[in-house]
Chains A and B, each alone.
Chain A
C-alpha cells in the first residue's frame, strides 16, 4: 500500500482495526490468536512483491482483468442527464467481483500453510468464487449456506458442487446469510489449526474489512486510470450497491482523496424502509455482530432482525465497518432503493444496453435512474456493475409473473 497524507480518508483502519468508532475484533478468545496471526501475515504479504505479482498475474490471466470501462450511450440518452459509465466487473470469471477477494485470500491461506478452506454464502456468488479458487489451488472447500438460500439458489449450489465444494445447508435461525456466517464461525473455531475462513465481504473482525477492501480496490484503481485515459478527467459521482459493501468499497476507496468525486452507496430497501428491508445504515444502528462493530438491523434489546431484499446477496443485517465510518464522517452518501425499483433498474439495463445485470447492481442502476436526470450532461456517473444476472433470471421471472 502506498503512504497517504495524514489527513487522508485512506488511512483507516488504525492499528487495532478500528475505522473511527467502528470495526474492531469482537471474536471469541479461541479465534483471537489466529486473527492476530492473519494480521501479521497480511502485513508481511502486502510488503512482499512476490505476493503482489502472483495476485496480479492471477487477476489478469485467470479472472480476466482489467475489466472494461464502458460508456452506456442509450441508457444515458434515456435518462437525459449525466453520462452513465459502467465498470464491468460482471465480466470477471465467475460473473461477479467476488473472485478478486477470493484470489487474494486463498493466496494468504496458502502462505499461512492452511490446508482447508471454509466460506459462507448468501446468493451463492461468493460460494462459487471460493469453490473456484479452491479447485484452482487443490484445497478442500466447505461452503455454509442458509437452507432457505440453498432452495432459492439451486443453480449456484450445483456450480459449487461441480467445482468440488461441499455445500452445508444451515437450518439455524432464518436459514439465510447471517446464519451461514454463524455456522462458518463455529466451524472455524473448532478447526483453527488447519482452516482458513475466506470471508466474502468487507466485514468481520479486523483484518478482514481491510484486506477484503484492499483486494477489491483493484476495481477502483483500474476504473480511475481508465477514466483518466478515456476522458482526461475523474468521474463526478460513483455509485455502487451495498450488502456487506465489498464492491462499493473496492470502487470508492481509491477515489476517497479525490475531493471532486462524490460517492453514493445504495442499500436494499426491500419492501420499503418502513417495512422489511436490508438497509443497515438507513434503518439500523451501531452494534456488535460477526466480529465487528457496525450498523446493524436490530431491536431495542440488541437482538438481530432479519434483512429482506429481492436480492439474496444484499439481505444481510449488517454492513462493512468502513462504510459505517464513511457515513458518519459524511464522505460518502448512502441511499436505499426498493425491490420494485431494483426490478425496474434490471429491466432498464437489459432493454437499453443489452446487459443483464445481477439484482445487486440493479439497485445501483435504480439509484442512477433517479440521480442522472438531475445532473448536467457533461457530468460523469460511474456505476459498479458488480455481477451479471444469469443467476437471477428465475427469481426475476417469478417477480414479473412469468412462468418459465
Chain B
C-alpha cells in the first residue's frame, strides 16, 4: 500500500502534504475537510488521531485534539473516516499521525490490521523512536503499512541510519527543535539538513513544522521532495468550524500551487 505514497512523490514536482485532526470539529465534518484538501491539490493527506496528551504539539493542534475528543471522536470514528476517504479517493495517499498509546492500546497487530483494512498507507507515531520500534514497526511492516519516521535537527549522523532503518513512504524532517505550529526554521538550515538526509536516504524527504504560508512552502519545496502544512489548516478549522471546508480548500489551493510551481520560477 506504499504504492500510493511512492506515486505521490513521483509526479516530477514537489508534493504538498497536509495535516488536519480527525474528528475536528466533529467526526461528521471531517470528510468534507479532507475532500477540500484533495480538491485544493494536496498530494498526501495526514489524518491526526486525537489524543488527550499531545505533548509534541503546539496550542493550535492541542486545541484541535480537545475539540475532536470533546465531540466524542473515538478510534473507531478515525478508521471509519479513513475507510470512507479511501472509497471516495482511491488514489490519494492517507497517513495516520498520532501518539503511541491510542495506536498500541489494543495491540500493534490490531492497529496495523485496521490500518490495512481502512486503506491507510502510512503511520507517523510521534513518540515511538527507533529504539522502541518493536512496539509498532514490525506489525505495520507485516501489514504493508509504511512506518514514516521523523528526523529532527538533533538527529545526528550517528543516529540517522537507525532512523532510516525500517522506515518507508517518506522521511518527515521536523525542521525545528520544538513543537508544531511555532516558528519556522531558517531556510539555510533546512537546505543543509535536507541535503544531508537525502544523501543518506533513498526515500523522499518532506519538511514540516512552522510552515504556514505559500511563500514559505515554496521556498522549502525548492529543496525538499515535499512540504508539510498542519497548524495553519487546523487554525482555519478552529475559526470556521463546520464551515471550514471552503477556507481549507482555498488555503490548500494556494499552498499547492506554490509548492507545485516552486521549481519553475527563476531562482
Q: Which segment, of A98-106, A247-255, A297-305, faces chain B? A: A297-305
Q: What residue of chain A has the Cβ atom nearest to residue B77's Cβ? A: A301
B179 interfacial contact with A, CB 8 Å:
yes
Using known A-B contacts A178-B53, A304-B52, determine if residue A189 contacts B100 with beta carbons closer than 8 Å. Answer: no
Q: How far, in angstroms, from A288 to B101 measured CA to CA in the complex? A: 5
Report B-chain residues with C-beta under 8 Å of the C-beta of A288. Answer: 99-101, 104, 127, 135
The reply to whether A289 and B53 contact each other, CB–CB distance below 8 Å, is yes
The reply to whether B174 and A29 contact each other, CB–CB distance below 8 Å, is yes
Q: Which of A34, A288, A290, A298 has the most CB of B within 10 A?
A: A288
CB contacts under 8 Å to A, within B78-106, are 99-105
Minimum C-beta distance from B111 to chain A (A): 10
A112 interfacial contact with B, CB 8 Å:
no
A61 interfacial contact with B, CB 8 Å:
no
Report A-chain residues with C-beta under 8 Å of the C-beta of B174. Answer: 29-30
**What 1/0 mask marks residues of chain B from 100 to 141 whose CB sits below 8 Å from any chain A CB?**
111111000000000000000000001111111001000000
The reply to whether A185 and B151 contact each other, CB–CB distance below 8 Å, is no
Main secondary structure, interface of A, reads mixed
CB contacts under 8 Å to B, within A283-320, are 287-291, 296, 298, 300-305
Q: Which segment, of A19-27, A146-154, A331-339, A350-358, faces chain B? A: A19-27
A371 interfacial contact with B, CB 8 Å:
no
The reply to whether A33 and B159 contact each other, CB–CB distance below 8 Å, is yes
The reply to whether B128 and A26 contact each other, CB–CB distance below 8 Å, is yes
The reply to whether A298 and B159 contact each other, CB–CB distance below 8 Å, is no
Report A-chain residues with C-beta under 8 Å of the C-beta of B56. Answer: 28, 185-186, 189
Q: How far, in angstroms, from A28 to B174 measured CA to CA in the complex? A: 11
Report A-chain residues with C-beta under 8 Å of the C-beta of B179. Answer: 186, 189-190
Q: What residue of chain A has the Cβ atom nearest to residue B62's Cβ? A: A172
Minimum C-beta distance from B30 to chain A (A): 16
Contact of B105 among A26, A193, A287 (CB under 8 A): A287
Q: Which of A27, A192, A291, A302 has the most CB of B within 10 A?
A: A302
Q: Tally B residues with Cβ within 8 Å of A.
A: 44
Report B-chain residues with C-beta under 8 Å of the C-beta of A30. Answer: 152-154, 174, 177-178
Q: How far, in angstroms, from A24 to B182 measured CA to CA in the complex? A: 29
The reply to whether B52 and A27 contact each other, CB–CB distance below 8 Å, is no
The reply to whether B101 and A296 contact each other, CB–CB distance below 8 Å, is yes
Report A-chain residues with C-beta under 8 Å of the C-beta of B129. Answer: 25-29, 32
Using known A-B contacts A32-B159, A291-B127, determine if residue A302 contacts B152 with beta carbons closer than 8 Å. Answer: no
**What 1/0 mask marks residues of chain A from 165 to 189 whose CB sits below 8 Å from any chain B CB?**
0000000110000110110011001
Q: Which of B99, B104, B127 has the most CB of A within 10 A?
A: B127
Q: How far, in angstroms, from A27 to B182 measured CA to CA in the complex? A: 19
B184 interfacial contact with A, CB 8 Å:
no
Using known A-B contacts A26-B128, A29-B155, A291-B127, determine if residue A302 contacts B102 with beta carbons closer than 8 Å. Answer: yes
Q: How far, in angstroms, from A304 to B99 measured CA to CA in the complex? A: 12
The reply to whether B132 and A173 contact each other, CB–CB distance below 8 Å, is no
Q: How far, in angstroms, from A32 to B56 measured CA to CA in the complex? A: 13
Q: What residue of chain B has the Cβ atom nearest to residue A300's Cβ? A: B105
Q: Tally A residues with Cβ within 8 Å of B.
A: 38
**What 1/0 mask marks residues of chain B from 46 to 68 whose CB sits below 8 Å from any chain A CB?**
00000111111110001000100
Q: Which of A28, A182, A193, A304 has the most CB of B within 10 A?
A: A28
B75 interfacial contact with A, CB 8 Å:
yes
The reply to whether A173 and B53 contact each other, CB–CB distance below 8 Å, is yes
Report A-chain residues with C-beta under 8 Å of the C-beta of B153. Answer: 30
A370 interfacial contact with B, CB 8 Å:
no
Report B-chain residues with C-beta under 8 Å of the C-beta of A230. Answer: none
Q: How far, in angstroms, from A182 to B102 measured CA to CA in the complex? A: 16
B211 interfacial contact with A, CB 8 Å:
no
B37 interfacial contact with A, CB 8 Å:
no
A403 interfacial contact with B, CB 8 Å:
no
Report A-chain residues with C-beta under 8 Å of the C-beta of B177. Answer: 30, 189-193
**What 1/0 mask marks residues of chain A from 23 to 45 whose CB sits below 8 Å from any chain B CB?**
01111111111100000000000
B5 interfacial contact with A, CB 8 Å:
no
Q: What residue of chain A has the Cβ atom nearest to residue B100's Cβ? A: A288
B260 interfacial contact with A, CB 8 Å:
no
Report A-chain residues with C-beta under 8 Å of the C-beta of B100. Answer: 26, 288
A4 interfacial contact with B, CB 8 Å:
no
Report A-chain residues with C-beta under 8 Å of the C-beta of B182. Answer: 190
Chain A to chain B contacts (Cβ below 8 Å), 6 pairs: A28-B56, A29-B150, A33-B156, A179-B53, A291-B127, A303-B69
A-B residue pairs, 9 tightest by C-beta:
A302-B105, A190-B178, A302-B101, A302-B102, A288-B100, A30-B152, A182-B55, A185-B55, A304-B52
Give B contacts to A, CB under 8 Å. 51-58, 62, 66, 69, 74-75, 99-105, 126-132, 135, 149-156, 159, 163, 174, 176-179, 182
Known: A27-B127, A34-B154, A190-B178. 15 other contacts (CB 8 A): A28-B129, A29-B129, A30-B153, A30-B177, A32-B130, A32-B131, A33-B159, A172-B62, A185-B55, A189-B56, A189-B177, A190-B176, A298-B101, A301-B102, A301-B105
